[in-house]
Structure formats: C-alpha cells, structure tokens
C-alpha cells in the first residue's frame, strides 16, 4: 500500500454519481442541417447519373462495354438503334465505331440477298436502313434479346457539337493549314514572307476584301477523273492583262459574292424546303448531303456543274409540272433529282456521258411522290425511293415498269419482256434493244410522258 509523506497509507476515493441520477449515455454529435442537405444532393445527382448511363448494345462483342458506358443525356457521337421487340431490355445505343463495324457485317450479308446483288455499294449503303433494303437484311440484324431485330433510328439526329469542341476543331485546322499560292495583280503568285506569313495582294482594304479575303487559283481543264466545276472556292474571271474582268461581265451572276468567286450557282442557306417531305424521308439516306470524293471532288457534282456552267444554266424545269428548280453549288443540288435519258422531255440541253449523247432532265420532289398514273393499268408511279438532290444515269420513268404495255415494242406493239421477270439493273431499261418480232432496234421502253402516264390535275394546275 502506498504511503504519503507522513507515513500514512493513501486511500483511493472513487467519486460516484449523486443519488437518484443514472449515468447518461453519450449522445452522438449532430451534423448541421446544411451538411445533410449537401450530402442528399450529392447522392441524388449520383443516382441520376447512374440512371442515365447505358451500355453499348451491339450484337457483337463490344471491347469498351464496361469501360465506356454511354450517357443518354449527352450521347455524343453514339448511334441510336431500335429493336422491334417492345420488351427488349438490352438498350438502344451503340458506340459509333461499334455501329460501323456491325453495319459492315450487315452490308456483307445484303450483297447476297435477292435484288440487292445488282446494287452498287453506294446503293446498298443508301437503302440499308430504309424499307427497300432492310426487308432483305433484317435477318442479319438479330438483337441480343434473341426475340427482335435491330434497326438504325433514322428519326434521331445527333446533338450539335459544343462550342469548346468547335473551337478546338477550328484551332486544329488552322494549325494544320498549309499556305497556298495567291494570285497577284501581275499574274504571278505570292509566296511566304520571311517571317512565315502568307502575303495577300487583296489586304490593302479594296472592295474585294469584304467579298472574299482569299481566292484560290484553279483551272477548269478536263482530267481523267472528270472536270473541275466552278465552286464557291473557285478563281475569279480574269482579263488578258491579269486583272479582274470588267464590271459588266458580272451581270450574269446572281449576287456580288458569286461574282467574286466566279460561281454562277446559288448557295443554299437552309434545308427548310425539305420539310414538305414525309418524316421518314427527312434524312441523309433520302437526301444527298455530302460529296463522295475527297476534298469535294465528287464525280457526279463535277459532271453536272461543269456541263450546266458551260451552257450557263442556273435553273431547270420539272418535266412533269414545268416548275423552275434552282441549281445550287453543293448537295443537294436541286429540290428534286436529275436524270439522263435519250428521250427529250422539255429541254434541249444534251451532255456526253459514257460516250453517249443524252438529254439532262429534272423532276421536282413533289412530282416524285405522287403525280403520275400508268396510262394502261392506272397504277400510281412513285419515285419516293429515289435520292433527292443528285443525278441518275438512266431514265427513271422507264426503270420501274408496272405492266406489259410499258414493256411493248414501239412499232409492232408486242410485249418484248415479261413484267414478272424484268431486268437485273434499272439502267438496262434505258438501253437500245432489238425487238424479237419486228427486229427493230430502238429505245422501246422510253417514251414521252403523255404516251405512258396520266398526270394528276392538281399537279398540272400547280
């Protein structure tokens, strides 16, 4: 026992609670109300983000299935698809690269299907997700739910890119741009300055500076791939002295900007005119929107604009309703479609295509929908399957015969071809063939509209 200084034992005394008072348990420290609200908001936001995330539903294996889920609120370049099974729970989004790989597999299958074997690769791509092609290829579009088939949602349009992405893209393009030769007043070209800047002969504040700051030098000579049509980036007309042509030479152009660029065709400001089409046709599969070739050197566009500018034609008439169709410098070229035919409809303009002299005709998009009926069987003729804004190298009215009268000889009136069989290619109906009865070789299936169709009264009154 321990002792104190005086040698007495030290007694340890334990203090107890006063009588009638029990030991109270220690209460946990309460969190402020503001802190609890912040935690609730964070938990709610996390739950909302989790609910908006989905996974790639490509039928093949996705290498980024768990690593990169797709945010439905901001899908970016993801592609939306639809399953015809209403109870499907596999999702409706694919990564863009996963969709492209899967689409190529479906196209491979489409090559071996019925009438698609005679289509070109461009036609297969255009018709794949429409009724014309999907009815043949749907067997290759099995969904992972095993009870339905996938199809690209043509009514979905990706959201516009953010401002930050646009600025980054523009900055990247400016960084990679290469200096090009500039046309000087003396006919020469201005190169690079000592400090790396490109000299500009139009930087003195003249009247052309506000119209077009830079003008590229281009020639209009023919090459093996076609000719270079005048475009919005073309060179201005030049006089023999090297300067710009006189003011009265610009009177043919529609506006001063076209005069400065040497472009006789108008530039389309918007696409509101195509709102008159059915909803399922308001997409790039039914409306030609982009060039096929690199750097805007599309073969069809070059061919059309070169021949039209040679004839100084800026508008054409519809062969059905005679309405005027303005020609634009980029796709879609007109509010309808061009087609070539050995038959003269309403124009004398002839072009050389595939070593043949053919007439260049046009049909407006309204007359493509529902305007004609067969004179013999009264079957409505519809061109809704044709792509708007481009050109076909055959007669579109002869390419889709409906009865034996449309496939008869022009001279002996006997049926040359059975309508149930037909040709494998649309262009074969526009070829000159020999009648097996009277032995006359002619374009038997191509005839004037009044000999094959009845034009509806409301179309004539338009």
Q: Give the model confidence (pLDDT) of 122-144 as tens digits.
A: 888 888 998 888 988 988 999 98
pLDDT value at position 317?
95
- β-bridge mates for residue 362, sequence order: 338
The residue ranges of DSSP E strands in 379-445, in sequence order, are 380-381, 391-392, 433-434, 441-442
pTM of the model: 0.49
Q: Both tokens of residue 233?
A: 């980036």
B/e letters for 305-342, b = 16+ CB within 10 Å, e = fewer, are bbbbbeeeebebbbbbbebebebbbbbbbbbbbbbbbb
Average pLDDT for runs of 10 along the chain of length 462: 56 49 50 54 56 86 84 87 90 90 90 83 88 88 90 83 56 49 45 43 40 40 40 40 41 52 83 92 90 75 92 94 94 96 91 92 92 92 93 94 92 90 90 93 93 82 50
Q: Looking at residue 235, what is its pLDDT? A: 38
Closest alpha carbon to 388 in 289, 291, 248, 310: 289
């Amino acid at each position: 026992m321990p002792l104190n200084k005086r040698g007495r034992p030290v007694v340890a005394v334990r203090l107890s609670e006063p009588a009638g008072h029990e030991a109270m348990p220690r209460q946990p420290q309460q969190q402020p109300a503001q802190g609890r609200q912040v935690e609730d908001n964070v938990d709610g936001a996390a739950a909302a983000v989790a609910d908006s995330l989905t996974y790639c539903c490509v039928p093949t294996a996705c290498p980024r299935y768990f690593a990169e889920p797709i945010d439905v609120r901001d899908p970016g370049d993801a592609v939306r698809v639809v399953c015809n099974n209403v109870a499907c729970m596999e999702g409706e989004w694919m990564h863009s690269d996963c969709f492209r790989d899967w689409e190529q597999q479906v196209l491979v299958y489409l090559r071996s299907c019925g009438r698609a074997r005679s289509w070109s690769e461009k036609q297969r791509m255009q018709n794949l997700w429409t009724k014309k092609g999907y009815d043949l290829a749907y067997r290759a579009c099995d969904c992972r739910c095993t009870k339905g088939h996938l199809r690209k949602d043509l009514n979905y349009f990706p959201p516009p890119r953010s401002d930050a992405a646009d600025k980054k893209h523009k900055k990247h393009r400016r960084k990679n741009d290469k200096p090009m030769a500039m046309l000087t007043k003396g006919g020469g070209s201005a190169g690079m300055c000592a400090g790396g800047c490109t000299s500009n002969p139009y930087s003195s504040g003249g009247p052309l500076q506000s119209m077009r700051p830079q003008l590229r030098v281009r020639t209009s000579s023919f090459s093996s791939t076609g000719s270079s049509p005048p475009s919005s980036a073309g060179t201005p007309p030049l006089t023999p002295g090297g300067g710009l042509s006189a003011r009265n030479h610009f009177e043919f152009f529609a506006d001063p900007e076209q005069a400065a660029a040497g472009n006789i065709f108008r530039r389309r400001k918007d696409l509101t005119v195509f709102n008159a089409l059915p909803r399922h046709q308001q997409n790039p599969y039914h409306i030609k929107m982009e060039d096929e070739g690199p750097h805007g050197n599309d073969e069809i566009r070059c061919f059309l604009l070169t021949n039209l500018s040679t004839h100084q034609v800026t508008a054409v008439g519809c062969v059905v309703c005679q309405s005027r169709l303005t020609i634009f410098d980029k796709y879609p070229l007109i509010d309808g479609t061009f087609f070539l035919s050995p038959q003269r409809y309403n124009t004398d303009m002839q072009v050389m295509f595939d070593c043949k002299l053919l007439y260049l005709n046009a049909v407006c998009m309204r007359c493509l929908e529902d305007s004609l009926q067969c004179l013999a069987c009264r079957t409505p003729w519809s061109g809704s399957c044709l792509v708007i804004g481009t050109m076909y190298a055959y007669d579109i009215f002869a390419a889709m015969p409906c009865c034996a009268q449309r496939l008869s000889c022009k001279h002996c009136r006997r049926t040359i071809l059975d309508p149930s069989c037909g040709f494998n290619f649309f262009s074969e109906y526009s070829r000159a063939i020999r009648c097996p009865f009277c032995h006359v070789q002619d374009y038997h299936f191509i005839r004037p509209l009044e000999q094959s169709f009845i034009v509806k009264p409301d179309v004539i009154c338009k």
